[in-house]
Structure 1
Amino acid sequence: MSNPHDQPDKPTFTRDGLAVSRAVALALAPVIVPQSRELRERIPVLPEAPGPWRGAAGDRGDDNPIRMLVLGDSTAAGVGVDDANFGLGGQLARALNEATARRVLWRASGRSGATARDLIARHLRPALREKTTLVFLSVGANDALAVRSARGFRRDIEHIVGKVFGAHPEAVLLMSSLPAFFRFRGLPEPLRSTLYRHSQALEHEARELIDAHPRAHMSPPPPPYTEGFFAVDEFHPGAQGYREWADFAIADALTSPVGTLLR
């Protein structure tokens, strides 16, 4: 991003506007599909962070650590960094340890490009086999890119939530808000605003589910992205971006109703 302060104002959509987000995207397909194709050809494809996707933050003497699973798409897979400790999982563990003084044992599961349906099909069941006290879910960006229906996305999130608490009823689930696509300067119009509108429709459905659960919380929309937030593809976070995201998400979670469950 050229200037962190030179960012567009946040678009606002009515409930009716969100309800037709998919129809709008499909109607604009003759324009936005070629734009998407051109972007894929231009944007460098960054690899997932090398394994292992697990680590620890904090004092080894802590006999009651937080056991955190980061479940999701390319962000869970550490795309944008070359060391998973500087990706989302490692940075969330650091931020949570610094804020609570509790040891955090973290691991990540997912893959670049994954939708919520992909997580259910390939990653959810094996990821939940290990003891888990906190799940951080980062998904939805690829569902928006694929123009998944909001109703289908809601069913998938409901399934994930049910499986998480079915396997670990005393766990806490944190879900990240979807990316603020309207601030992605590398996306041309009308692709940028169309993608943001549909992502907000998906987020609205997920937020209703998450907010209704006493042990779950969804973070608010992110603050403006700073200079240096993005990796070289200007789409995924880099090390600085993951750090800022983690600090924001953990600070917000600890002041939410589930915050007492994490201290």
Structure 2
Amino acid sequence: MGVAGSVVPVGPRWQRVRQIARAAAIGTGATAAAVVATGGVLLGQARQARRTIPMAEAPPPRCDGVYGAKLPGPPLTMVILGDSSAASYGVHRRRETLGALLATGLSRRLRRQVRLHRFAVVGSLSAGLKPQVESALEHGPDIAVILIGGNDVTNRTPPGLAVRYLVDAVRALRAAGCEVVVGTCPDLGAIQPIQPPLRWLARRWSRQLAAAQTVAVVEAGGWTVSLGDLLGPRFAAEPTRMFAWDRFHPSAEGYAVAAAALLPTVISALGASQDRRPVLGRGEGVRSLPQAAQEAARHAGTEVSGTQVRGRDRGPAGRWAQLRRRAFFGVGAVPQPGTAADSPTLEGTA
């Protein structure tokens, strides 16, 4: 019995989501056979990876506050939800966190104050998004950034179930008038302590979940950015620079790269893009949503959003989606001491 079919609602607009999630479930069944065949090797590798990757110690630095406090006008409110990657585990300074980098970049680009609240929790599964969303909605957010999925892969959460929790979160935020950008599941096959063949399975599971997340989030009215291996060529070439001390989470430079991938989509989701009718580059354009999701899962830094063709949301293959491979701007490097990101006006003292 397929897992996806038992946890995702029925109805025409969910058919593609179910297909992607079912494919992930089928893939899991196929890989289960491989696990049986090579079980001793995989179990040994999993134990070795857990020994090699240290457990979380000190919590990541808080980044809540008002960025660009001297700028005129009321602030935009941004919330950061998700797991350790959203919380920026692995860095030690506020200015190095993903939230601070995004808030600083957004404030500078829009010339507006940005009030940031971080509710992401280290170790969170998609099932943990509900209390984060409930806390976030108390602050009336304009934009939410969610990074989730890695722990669902490592804990083997059924893809359909993980996607259902994410969709519930996106829908609740959208119902409150909040725009939502989701950084989809990272490619755990890029993690150095995980060796083949476990690395190959981790990559497959990660991409399956990322594709299913993309379909579901866009159907629910959100935007997605494929984080993949966090723009892997640099991570593969310079792992000691791009990964933190635990060789699992990004370093300060790694989070800067991730923020640079997310920032253009955050701006577009807010309707503030100056390029509303962009000239599309090679490999970009309109696809069916399932096709766009599969392409995005293979290419980190790819944005997927809903669009129309001849005034219609849907075609023969389902929801129309626009796929863009964003040029990164705004947060290419870690801010230096004394910048807005280093010393925001802290909550409770503004």
- TM-score, normalised to structure 1, is 0.82
SS in 2 for 1:260: coil
The question of whether the paired residues in 2 share the 8 Å contact of 1:144 and 1:195 is answered with yes
Distance 1:104 1:25, change over 3 A: farther
**Which of 162, 171, 192 lines up with 1:162 in the alignment?**
171
Partners in 1 of 2:232 and 2:270 — Cα distance?
24
Distance 1:195 1:84, change over 3 A: same
Distance 1:229 1:99, change over 3 A: farther
Unmatched segments (≥5 aa) in structure 2: 1-19, 275-350
The question of whether the paired residues in 2 share the 8 Å contact of 1:138 and 1:176 is answered with yes
The question of whether the paired residues in 2 share the 8 Å contact of 1:87 and 1:239 is answered with yes
Partners in 2 of 1:190 and 1:42 — Cα distance?
17
The question of whether the paired residues in 1 share the 8 Å contact of 2:171 and 2:220 is answered with no
Quick check: 1:224 aligned with 2:232? yes
Quick check: 1:210 aligned with 2:217? yes
The question of whether the paired residues in 2 share the 8 Å contact of 1:52 and 1:84 is answered with yes
Any idea what the Cα deviations from partners look like across 1:6-52, whole Å, max 9, x if unmatched? xxxxxxxxx78644232244441734333222211122234354553
The question of whether the paired residues in 2 share the 8 Å contact of 1:175 and 1:219 is answered with yes
Quick check: 1:69 aligned with 2:82? no
Bigger Cα displacement from structure 2, 65-74 vs 31-40:
31-40
Partners in 2 of 1:225 and 1:49 — Cα distance?
29
Quote how far apart the aligned CAs of 1:119 are: 2.3
For 2:111, the aligned partner's letter is A
Quote how far apart the aligned CAs of 1:126 are: 2.0
Number of the residue aligned with 1:249? 262
Number of the residue aligned with 1:237? 250
**Which of 108, 115, 118 lines up with 1:108 in the alignment?**
118
For 1:232, the aligned partner's letter is W
Partners in 2 of 1:83 and 1:230 — Cα distance?
15
Quote how far apart the aligned CAs of 1:105 are: 1.4
The sequence identity of aligned pairs, in percent, is 23
Any idea what the Cα deviations from partners look like across 1:87-143, whole Å, max 9, x if unmatched? 1111111222233322221111122111010222x4331232112111000100000
**Which of 257, 260, 263 lines up with 2:271 in the alignment?**
260
**Which of 167, 180, 197 lines up with 1:190 in the alignment?**
197
SS in 1 for 2:88: coil
Distance 1:158 1:238, change over 3 A: same
Quick check: 1:57 aligned with 2:64? no
Bigger Cα displacement from structure 2, 74-83 vs 26-35:
26-35
SS in 1 for 2:81: strand
For 1:80, the aligned partner's letter is G
SS in 1 for 2:242: coil
Any idea what the Cα deviations from partners look like across 1:144-181, whole Å, max 9, x if unmatched? 11111111112111111122123x22x21000022122
Number of the residue aligned with 1:12? none
The question of whether the paired residues in 1 share the 8 Å contact of 2:24 and 2:208 is answered with yes
User: Which structure's relative contact order is higher, taking Cα pairs within 8 Å and 6+ residues apart?
Assistant: 1
The question of whether the paired residues in 2 share the 8 Å contact of 1:78 and 1:84 is answered with no
For 1:189, the aligned partner's letter is P
Partners in 1 of 2:72 and 2:43 — Cα distance?
52
Number of positions where the alignment pairs a residue of Structure 1 with one of Structure 2: 244
Quote how far apart the aligned CAs of 1:204 are: 1.5
Between structure 1 and structure 2, the one with the greater Rg is: 2
The question of whether the paired residues in 1 share the 8 Å contact of 2:101 and 2:256 is answered with yes
Distance 1:106 1:47, change over 3 A: farther
- TM-score, normalised to structure 2, is 0.63
Partners in 2 of 1:157 and 1:51 — Cα distance?
25
